[in-house]
A and B are shown apart, each in its own frame.
Chain A
Amino acid sequence: MQRVDVTTSAADMLHRLTGMHGPLMFHQSGGCCDGSSPMCYPAGDFHIGSSDVHLGDLTVPGVDEPVSVWMSAAQFEYWKHTHLTIDVVPGRGAGFSLEAPEGVRFLIRSRLLTDAEYAALAAS
């Protein structure tokens, strides 16, 4: 199982954005305003560092490159017991995330991991 997943509508948007911008990545934000939103960038645009955790890779139908999803390690400490699904809703967006000009915003939906899932992910 994966820690992070994507809805069909968000995958469709990622397919469209890949056509416009090439391979993509996500970094999960925190803090003010549009914090707690997953930010979508051209792959490599956001410099991943040793303070980041790789949450997983999204497989998007019709897209060759997996979309990697990252979060800062400090934030992950508070998020590690939850499973995340990237969805998309109508909106203005903000930050430098790529989907905003399309009139939509990626959104994180969360659920608690079961004990078995938590143990499996921790082991991996």
Chain B
Amino acid sequence: MTQYVAPGSAGSVVSYESRYGHFIGGEYLSPAKGQYFADPTPVTGQDFTEIARGTSEDIDRAVEAAAGAFGAWSKTSATERSTLLNSIADRVEANIEKLAVAESWENGKPVREALAADLPLAVDHWRYFAAAIRAQEGGISEIDSDTVAYHFHEPLGVVGQIIPWNFPILMATWKLAPALAAGNTVVLKPAEQTPASIHVLLSLIADLIPAGVVNVVNGFGAEAGKPLAAHPRVAKVAFTGETTTGRLIMQYASENIHPVTLELGGKSPNIFFDDVATHRDDFYDKALEGFTMFALNQGEVCTCPSRALIQAGIYEEFVPDVIKRTEALVQGHPLDTETQVGAQASNDQYEKILSYLDIGQQEGAKVLIGGERAEMAGELSGGYYIKPTIFEGDNKMRIFQEEIFGPVVSVTKFDDYDDAVKTANDTLYGLGAAVWSRNINTAYRAGRDIQAGRVWTNCYHVYPAHAAFGGYKQSGIGRENHKMMLDHYQQTKNMLVSYSDQPQGLF
């Protein structure tokens, strides 16, 4: 067991600047209006740095810098861009501890998770797109013996990216790597809850990146996000967040006739068929772990398995087993490597989860475990901790329909296959889902019948690069984490060439 020293104390592996401006054109600039806001750690509730409060003037400067850098950057070879991405990957890999502690302190997530998942996945993601862009090919179509259609991939220009707060570095990487690989320049706005982690990352990689290719403007959505999303010189906007803002971004994009990609969350069903429990073996243990994944990252995951559908034949034995498994989760100081469940990312998130614990009980759902705030001692007493919670209820309840974004799972039972699929699809969303069965035919059929972009089959919460991630229904548009994301950051140039000397004969 190790507990990392808190940033700001002697001996910490990471230290923050006392304040961060905007990173524009390869250097740090003060905000045009001179304002900053405090950034608190959810671990203790104490402020630890100050962040520039960006406005439209700052966005304009960043777009200008990105537009200025685009000409040269878009003409670089795929090899050159690939080399840059690989260099970034090497730097991140060499500094995993530092970045993991920084992210844990700012977001509240257990450092154990950042060390084992967030940062290694980020490293791999840079390398994946470094490889994907080298391997990408255009197309040649022979129209007739003298006429050829060439199809080139060309970058879009300046792209705007709005990053969520649940995986500050990994989500930024998911968006930056394909955009840069494809030859775009970027203006990125981190979430106002977790802006500092990206600046720690920048402190490690800024010297590798040509000036203006990546620009970071901090600030609030209303003041910095909106002018970025609505900017006429931003060729495309990528956003991860919720549906109302997603609609607003589409609305702004429609005014400029610009494309968007959106990842807007879900209410992912985790389906356990009867045959899961035919043996008490490793597979059964894996299924119990798969259930308990609702508490990963304190439930602050777009694909949190927050609806567990359990077949009636095993319900009475499976539920006590998952309660026992949930009881065993270690909640504590996020910087302790033994901690599995840390703090919620912000006070408003914490309050929102509590409001759902309230409405869930009002609607008649039964609390099987948890259901309340976790009172922590000492320096953690000012932080935002919720006990992992299992509700038992009905799929029509609001706790089964809304993304609580906390360590809360709602459990219900189903009778047969059709009932399982009907309940799984009775949701507005379709981002993630999972099927657990020892029968491959059942698992396959369910996977195809569930309306979701990702159906984990006998696993959960794995996010390897090269497996497409994105939503059906109201969960969004686009597929990240796969080379097909390059298409979302490129446009097609067709050159239609005649190699004939003969006139067409029309005029």
Assembled-state Cα–Cα distance A97/B347 (Å): 16
- By size class, the interface of chain A is 35 or more
Residue of A whose beta carbon sits closest to that of B345: A92
Q: Are A94 and B193 in contact (CB under 8 A)?
A: yes
Residue among A27, A31, A97 with most chain B CB within 10 A: A31
Q: Are B241 and A94 in contact (CB under 8 A)?
A: yes
- By size class, the interface of chain B is 35 or more
- B346 touches which one: A91, A97, A101 (CB < 8 A)? A91
Closest 4 CB pairs of A and B: A32-B265, A91-B348, A35-B242, A29-B244
Q: Are A110 and B220 in contact (CB under 8 A)?
A: no
Q: Are B348 and A96 in contact (CB under 8 A)?
A: no
Q: Are A91 and B242 in contact (CB under 8 A)?
A: no
Interface membership of B41, Cβ < 8 A = no
Q: How far is the CB of B257 from chain A (nearest CB, A)?
A: 16
* CB-defined contacts of B428 to chain A, threshold 8 Å: 30, 74-75, 78
Q: Are A93 and B242 in contact (CB under 8 A)?
A: no
Interface membership of B500, Cβ < 8 A = no
- Per the 8 Å Cβ criterion, residues 234-281 of B in contact with A are 240-248, 251, 263-266
Contact flag A32-B164 (CB < 8 Å), given A47-B251, A79-B398, A98-B222: yes
Interface membership of A63, Cβ < 8 A = no
Contact flag A93-B221 (CB < 8 Å), given A31-B242, A31-B475: yes
Q: Are B398 and A35 in contact (CB under 8 A)?
A: no
Residue of A whose beta carbon sits closest to that of B35: A101
- A46 touches which one: B220, B221, B244, B302 (CB < 8 A)? B244
Q: Are A107 and B355 in contact (CB under 8 A)?
A: yes
Interface membership of B192, Cβ < 8 A = yes
Interface membership of A108, Cβ < 8 A = yes
Kindly specify which of B6-14, B172-180, B401-409 makes contact with the partner chain: B401-409
Contact flag A39-B347 (CB < 8 Å), given A31-B266, A33-B265: no
* CB-defined contacts of A107 to chain B, threshold 8 Å: 348, 351-352, 355
Q: How far is the CB of B407 from chain A (nearest CB, A)?
A: 15
- Per the 8 Å Cβ criterion, residues 45-91 of B in contact with A are 53
Provide the A86-104 mask, 1 if CB < 8 A to any CB of B, else 0.
0001111111111011010
Interface membership of B460, Cβ < 8 A = no
Assembled-state Cα–Cα distance A89/B246 (Å): 23
Assembled-state Cα–Cα distance A32/B401 (Å): 12
Assembled-state Cα–Cα distance A38/B193 (Å): 18
Q: How far is the CB of B302 from chain A (nearest CB, A)?
A: 4
* CB-defined contacts of A92 to chain B, threshold 8 Å: 192-193, 346-348
Contact flag A96-B398 (CB < 8 Å), given A29-B244, A89-B348: no
Contact flag A32-B221 (CB < 8 Å), given A94-B241, A110-B359: no
Assembled-state Cα–Cα distance A91/B355 (Å): 15
Residue of A whose beta carbon sits closest to that of B193: A92
* CB-defined contacts of B351 to chain A, threshold 8 Å: 89, 91, 105, 107
Q: Are A30 and B242 in contact (CB under 8 A)?
A: yes
Q: Are A74 and B223 in contact (CB under 8 A)?
A: no
Q: How far is the CB of B299 from chain A (nearest CB, A)?
A: 12
Residue of B whose beta carbon sits closest to that of A35: B242
Residue of B whose beta carbon sits closest to that of A110: B359
Assembled-state Cα–Cα distance A52/B306 (Å): 26
* CB-defined contacts of B225 to chain A, threshold 8 Å: 95-96
Interface membership of B141, Cβ < 8 A = no
Q: Are A32 and B405 in contact (CB under 8 A)?
A: yes
Interface membership of B474, Cβ < 8 A = yes
Interface membership of B482, Cβ < 8 A = no
* CB-defined contacts of A110 to chain B, threshold 8 Å: 355, 358-359, 362, 398
- Residue pairs across A and B with Cβ atoms less than 8 A apart, 6 shown, are A29-B244, A30-B265, A31-B241, A33-B191, A46-B247, A101-B53
Q: Are B348 and A32 in contact (CB under 8 A)?
A: no
Interface membership of A9, Cβ < 8 A = no
Q: How far is the CB of A73 from chain B (nearest CB, A)?
A: 11
Residue of A whose beta carbon sits closest to that of B427: A78
Interface membership of B98, Cβ < 8 A = no
* CB-defined contacts of B220 to chain A, threshold 8 Å: 93, 100-101
Contact flag A32-B241 (CB < 8 Å), given A96-B225, A105-B348: yes
Q: Are B242 and A95 in contact (CB under 8 A)?
A: yes
* CB-defined contacts of A28 to chain B, threshold 8 Å: 244
Provide the B411-437 mask, 1 if CB < 8 A to any CB of A, else 0.
000000000000000001100000000
Provide the B486-507 mask, 1 if CB < 8 A to any CB of A, else 0.
0000000000000000000000
Assembled-state Cα–Cα distance A33/B348 (Å): 11
